[in-house]
Amino acid sequence: MKTDNYDVVVVGSGIAGAVIAKTLTNAGKKVLLLEAGLQAGIALDPEESYKTYQGYLETFYEAGAKVPNSPYPDLKDAPSINILDIVKLQKSNTPSTVGYLVQKGPVPFASDCFRGPGGTTLHWLGTTLRMLPNDFKMKTVYNQNVDWPLTYDELKPYYEMAELEIGVSGDVEEQKYPDIPKDFFGKDYVFPMEKIPQSYLDKEIAKKTDKLKVTLNRKEYELSCISTPQGRNSTPNEDYKYGSIVWDPSKKKLALKTQPKTYNPDGSLWDPYTGQRCEGNASCVPICPVQAKYNALKTLKKATLENLEVITQAVASKINTDDHSGEVTGIEYKIYKHKGSPEYTTATATGTIYVLAASAIENAKILLASNVGNTSDQVGRNLMDHLVLLTWGLTKEKIYPYRGPGSTTNIPTFRDGAFRSEHAAWISPLDNWGWSWPTFSPGSDVTNALNEGVFGKALRNRMNDLVTRQFLLHFEVEQSPDAGNRVTIDPQYLDAIKNYRPVISYGVSEYNLKAFEASKTVSDQIFAANGIEDHTVYNPVTDADYVTYKGQGYTFRGAGHIVGTHRMGFTKDDSVVDKNQRSWEHPNLYLVGCGNMPTLGTSNPTLTMTALTFQAAENILKQLEQ
Amino acid sequence: MTIQRSEKDLFLEISVYLTGFDEAELQGTGMVNTYYQAVLSNNTQPDVAYFFEMVATILQQNEGNEDALNKAISIHLMPASAYSGMAMNIINMWYTGNWGQNVVSGQAYIQGLIWDAAEAHPPGAKQPGYGSWAIPPL
Ligand SMILES: Cc1cc2nc3c(=O)[nH]c(=O)nc-3n(C[C@H](O)[C@H](O)[C@H](O)COP(=O)(O)OP(=O)(O)OC[C@H]3O[C@@H](n4cnc5c(N)ncnc54)[C@H](O)[C@@H]3O)c2cc1C
Ligand code: SF4
């Protein structure tokens, strides 16, 4: 479909952009989607999508460091953040310019994302927890952070849409979080699919951890271990009744439509019968070989294609506005001819409404580059992530890690509670992949043994004994919004086609450091109860994100949760968008994605962001049909 | 009578003692040829020649006595200073599919013996099927 008159121009084909494109085209609107990544990646037909994806898989097999972006093309014309570029910052005033981000510190921002068709869901893990009611009113309840202009109850119907869109597997009955009301999930609500089986490891650890009493700051807490809802396919739940999300023009609302048939899991792009169940590839990050795990291209495939025009290799760089009305008049983008080519041409996309869905850092960067939407001076500020403190050790008995999806069980006990007036909350996923994250096991275990001269049967036995007992625990600490943690731009730092590179200032507040101290205390008690020998090491010399609190050092890692750079708020002075996710100053500009979230809570952000994005789609439809 | 064994035969035979996996397991990876070629292409010709000369000698001298053979391997092959660390690199290749830091091939990654040693499977391949992770490995 080619026209000069698009209803909506969307930037980015990640889950946020795909949800907008699908919802609006299904409602009959004409959408132009600009995507920075390569043409090949957008293929939705069986043959081409298979070919591209097999290429990603082969690249992954051949990659020396199997980091999240390792299967995917890194483009000079639209570079991706890569965790391999996160280096320890020197104490001088010169920022690190290794990689795409310019990192000013004091510590480097530790997460990456993927710029290409389908966006970061290609390598996300797929954990899909909802936020808790108190997460939306941190200021009111705990006098910390800020409140949202939305409540949990307002978002609840949209959470159900997001759970259908992503295809969540989980057991509602088991979802017991601290302080939640009885109707946290609606009456008789179930997820589309049964829970993903919890790992053998989870069950072994839960034996001594579920109901374990731990003491923290002289208060006793009883831990629980529960199954984690996630966006990967399992057995359909016979009681799930919804089939699609539709726009009701008379009520001016989106609604879940019931279907008589049993829910049918969305398989791979190339074959609906491949990927209908998670097959235990244990490589969800960075790539699920069978696409049993959700990715945003599955949503894009459900768009009404005759209403959708996609331009790839099109990097949005500037928003043009009308000085008088404030209306956006177009989005300038640079088209590069082929991968790595420094040559580009510039064009302008026009429509009635504009939506930025380029993910939090890029959205902020485009706004800053255009000097648009920033009367509040909040654009780029409050950059957040979950600060992941890892602890690891060896169990007495074999627990057989490196099998199954990344995580199938979590400890939700510290997701909410009175302690939040003192220190940050966290969630603790149990990890199924041994020590691979912190120590690059099992490859490094082989190297270590070889350096000790171990070989032959002794080596085989050592590996069997060691690797099968590796246990890893996460403490994903909620980072608070801090105005100083921010994205800025600087004409000194440009990429190959003369777009700005994001310049990042980033640090950790005392409220968060206290949570590191607290989580290590809890970890020690869990390890003691399970007879786990602690092997955790935080290295002050080599670890890029090493911080200290009360004389103790901690290393945190990024969770990939890039949040908060164009926050939603109550007035045009405190925020970039209103509760409708529309720019306060530009009535035909919407921002979508995790950048809108005023705070992070303790759940991985994408489910909440997707719920918000359905709400944004509804608001856009309302505006178009005024 | 001693039968003249080719370097490739010697490579397979010594790999059994270096890795702790028997010949059938090593053959089962389908990587013997590739790995032998990787040895040739990642080392100098003299190192390779001296290495296999030593391998032939210690295999012959210690035939039938595994303890003595292991001792000889320890002394003559395992030190980092022996043949530019070739034995260590060979073991690492069988276990991880890498020669040093470099991945030999996508298939080499998939066939890494470490995953068998750990009673797991290479992430992204040889998937054991829905729910398999909920029980101990078979
Ligand atoms: C390793 C890892 C694991 C994760 N696991 C989880 C998890 O378990 N649960 C969870 O909730 N979240 C998880 N996340 C976070 C999750 O992946 C993101 O929140 C989510 O994918 C963001 O979606 P998005 O559509 O906003 O942005 P993205 O998916 O990043 O998509 C942005 C899109 O915009 C395009 N784009 C960017 N710039 C431009 C431009 N200038 N012009 C045109 N197009 C542009 C990009 O190419 C891309 O298509 C994880 C992240 C990582 C890195
Ligand atoms: S465990 Fe394997 S099949 Fe399941 S989602 Fe992860 S990568 Fe895909």
CB atoms A398 and B136 under 8 Å = yes
CB atoms B92 and A446 under 8 Å = yes
In angstroms, what is the span from residue A287 Cα to ligand 1's centroid? 14
Mean pLDDT for the stretch of residues A252-267: 96
CA atoms within 13 A on the CB side of B18: 29
CB atoms B136 and A200 under 8 Å = yes
Work out the angle between the directed axes of helices A15-26 and A606-624 (0-180°, nearest 10).
30
Whether the Cβ atoms of residue A110 and residue A556 lie closer than 8 Å to each other: yes
CB atoms A61 and B107 under 8 Å = yes
Complex ipTM = 0.97
A chain contacts of residue B78, beta-carbon cutoff 8 Å: 453, 455
* For residue B1, pLDDT beyond 70: no
Nearest bound ligand to the CA of residue A60: 2
Sketch the domain layout of chain B as residue ranges.
Answer: 7-125
Q: Which of A281, A289, A277 is nearest to A404 (CA)?
A: A281
Closest residue (by CA) to atom 53 of ligand 1? Answer: A560
For residue A332, list its beta bridge partners: A318, A348
| Interface list for B 66-95 with A (CB within 8 A) | 70, 73-74, 78-79, 87-88, 91-92, 95
Alpha-carbon separation of residue A424 from A387, A417, A602 (angstroms): 10, 10, 9
Mean pLDDT for the stretch of residues B100-121: 97
Alpha-carbon separation of residue B24 from B13, B21, B31, B39 (angstroms): 11, 8, 12, 20
* For residue B2, pLDDT beyond 60: no
Does A347 lie at the interface with B, CB-CB under 8 angstroms?
no
| Interface list for B 27-46 with A (CB within 8 A) | none
| pLDDT per residue as tens digits for the range A314-361 | 999 999 999 999 999 999 999 999 998 889 999 999 999 999 999 999
| Cα–Cα distance, A356 to A582 (Å, whole number) | 10
In angstroms, what is the span from residue A544 Cα to ligand 2's centroid? 30
Q: What is the reported pLDDT for A93? A: 77
| pLDDT per residue as tens digits for the range A116-129 | 999 999 999 999 99
| Cα–Cα distance, A83 to A437 (Å, whole number) | 12
| pLDDT per residue as tens digits for the range A422-451 | 999 999 999 999 999 999 999 999 999 999
Q: Which of A62, A64, A447 sits opposite B92 (nearest CB)?
A: A447
Instruction: Give the global pTM.
Output: 0.97
Please give, rounded to a whole number of angstroms, the shortest distance from the CA of B32 to a CA of chain A: 17
| Helix%, strand%, coil% for chain A, nearest 5 | 25, 20, 50
| Preferred mutation among B67, B76, B114 to probe A, highest tally of A CBs within 10 A | B114
* For residue B64, pLDDT beyond 90: yes
Whether the Cβ atoms of residue A576 and residue A374 lie closer than 8 Å to each other: yes
Mean pLDDT for the stretch of residues A37-47: 95
Q: CATH classification of A2-624, choosing from 3.40.50.2300, 3.40.50.300, 3.30.70.2190, 3.50.50.60?
A: 3.50.50.60
Q: Which residues line ligand 1 (CB under 6 A)?
A: A 11-17, 34-37, 68, 111-113, 115-117, 119-121, 123-127, 285, 315-316, 357-359, 362, 560-561, 593-594, 604-607
Please give, rounded to a whole number of angstroms, the shortest distance from the CA of A501 to a CA of chain B: 30
| Cα–Cα distance, B95 to B85 (Å, whole number) | 16
